[in-house]
Structure 1
């Protein structure tokens, strides 16, 4: 009889431990702040010319380190030099015309004091001076634009970093605002983890994080710097008749949304080659 009681007690203990273990695993899986859906990211700047033309020379190559202000490539400046000289000549011409108009007005003004010229005619000469002044200002603005365009035929690195995915070649024709390469900003790597909404209560700004790259190696460490405040809602889409497109759901299945959480990296070992876009696992302490 005692043996049966002991066996029953042991069975109850084992069942209780099993239930507790399952409950702990359930709690950890659903509420512990960790995710395997994370990416290494970096600040990437796209480089696009501000003027159009044929590329005369490319001064960098793919995966090359550059410093802010380094010359990247140059564009044929023949037309821009000609336009610059033309606008410069227009400024000189407009300035001379203004000077001539001012002289004519000054002479008529003296005559006006003696009554040799009507007030209406004097006003016409004054208006001519004002028009010539406006013409000079416009000519100077056009000259400044031509000067800027000429300078922009030489494209410089806006930041320090690494040239990425360049396919630009000498002789290519580039157009305004169309990107031709990108630069990965120096020391700008960080991690974005996509956490289920059920885990957000345990994620706070400043909390420590452990990052394990999918490629293996020693873990990286950092801390939470931002938590996403908005995500897309598919139910806000509309069809061609502007009617709402409500997604079909099953009441017994509710998939939790994922929220982006950004994590800054503290120290990156020199032997780790980080690449923007690779996978990682993140655990928030």
Structure 2
């Protein structure tokens, strides 16, 4: 029995849209389009001058708040030792003033932490290993908070989506071996079935203006099987094969796909390689 197979396979990968967490003018871009990068590499740098000034201001505020707290604590302690001379109300007032000074120091310290963090985040680094793709960034561009500026294809996330007819799903199981033949390469990839999708879009389920299902009245006599996505994890990639998200391939699944091919299998494989 021939293994379940489909010509409708696609190489896929996760794409990370890198967006800055601080705004400013871009002053350096040490990467170029389609460059291989590693996690932690610098992608681009936002002008740090404003963030360094904010950091210096925050440090000065912490120093002032620390001195003010020391003075307020000293005043409160002196009045605490003058029981009978200083009224209880005045002692409470100075204790409250010291508590406020302590809180102000905490706030100034938090502001300094934020200034340090903003300065650190003016250097945008790669969150994953991958390839920079479709780089349109230039020195002098203005970076806005939360707006993606660099796309990175995660090289550790490649997989294959095979779209199998529903009539073939009974012979496909999670963990089954799989073989993927890319259109541009002769050597096949090997892998295994990771998951099977549990749903696809039903065009008849869309409601109309009254909330009722809009069922297509036309039903053809030739009924085509729906194609269900099957996620294939890639185990081995032959030397010299360059994977790119969006590539097409033929996918076969099951024990038959991993066994030596007979005459019919070799004929089909040759036909498959020429499609």
SS in 2 for 1:176: coil
Pair 1:87–1:232, CA change in 2 (3 A): farther
SS in 1 for 2:251: strand
- RMSD of aligned residue pairs (Cα, Å): 2.1
Q: Is the 8 A contact 2:129 2:156 kept in 1?
A: no
Segments of structure 2 that go 5 or more residues without pairing to the other structure are 255-275
Select the residue among 211, 216, 225 that pairs with 1:248: 216
Pair 1:141–1:230, CA change in 2 (3 A): farther
Distance of 1:252 and 1:277 partners within structure 2: 32
Match of 1:46 in 2: 17
Query: Does 2:134 match 1:169?
Result: no
Match of 2:118 in 1: 149
SS in 2 for 1:81: helix
SS in 1 for 2:22: coil
Match of 2:266 in 1: none
1:46-195 map, 5 Å: 46-111=17-82, 113=83, 115-195=84-164
Taking structure 2 as the reference length, what is the TM-score of the superposition? Answer: 0.84
Distance of 1:129 and 1:236 partners within structure 2: 66
Q: Is the 8 A contact 1:102 1:129 kept in 2?
A: yes
SS in 1 for 2:39: coil
Q: Per-residue CA shift, 1:11-35, capped at 9, x if unaligned?
A: xxxxxxxxxxxxx9xxx8xxx6322
Distance of 1:249 and 1:275 partners within structure 2: 41
Distance of 1:116 and 1:236 partners within structure 2: 84
Taking structure 1 as the reference length, what is the TM-score of the superposition? Answer: 0.81
Q: Is the 8 A contact 2:79 2:91 kept in 1?
A: yes
Distance of 1:242 and 1:101 partners within structure 2: 70
Match of 1:197 in 2: 166
Pair 1:249–1:221, CA change in 2 (3 A): farther
How many residue pairs match? The answer is 253
1:22-41 map, 5 Å: 33-41=4-12
Pair 1:108–1:183, CA change in 2 (3 A): same
Q: Per-residue CA shift, 1:241-275, capped at 9, x if unaligned?
A: 56234231545655543322111122212222221
Q: Is the 8 A contact 1:235 1:244 kept in 2?
A: no
Select the residue among 258, 261, 268 that pairs with 2:230: 261
Q: Is the 8 A contact 1:197 1:257 kept in 2?
A: yes
SS in 2 for 1:266: strand
Distance of 2:70 and 2:203 partners within structure 1: 67
